[in-house]
Amino acid sequence: MRLLLLILPLFALILNIFGLMRLIPLYFTIPLLFASIYMTVYFFYDKKQFKGFRKVTH
């Protein structure tokens, strides 16, 4: 899963470069790049949140 999250932004960046060369429409590549970067940041930092203290049961 983490490997996919590293490859997806690189693929989107390459597509965005093609979009800047006007080979692919930019209205397709820019949201794809934004979504891939957003998903990568979200999934890498999602698991490090504070989830509260555990209840002590005796």
Has residue 28 got a pLDDT over 70? yes
3-class DSSP assignment, residue 51: coil
- pLDDT above 80 for 44: yes
5 torsion bin: left (phi>0), alpha (psi -120 to 50), beta (else)? alpha
- Across the range 1-16, mean pLDDT stands at 92
Residue 23 corresponds to which tokens in the numbers above?
């080979």
Q: For residue 35, how many other CB atoms are within 10 A of its CB? A: 13
Q: What does the angle CA 2 – CA 34 – CA 26 come to, to the nearest 5 degrees? A: 130
Q: Is the pTM of this model over 0.95?
A: no
DSSP 8-class letter at 22 = T
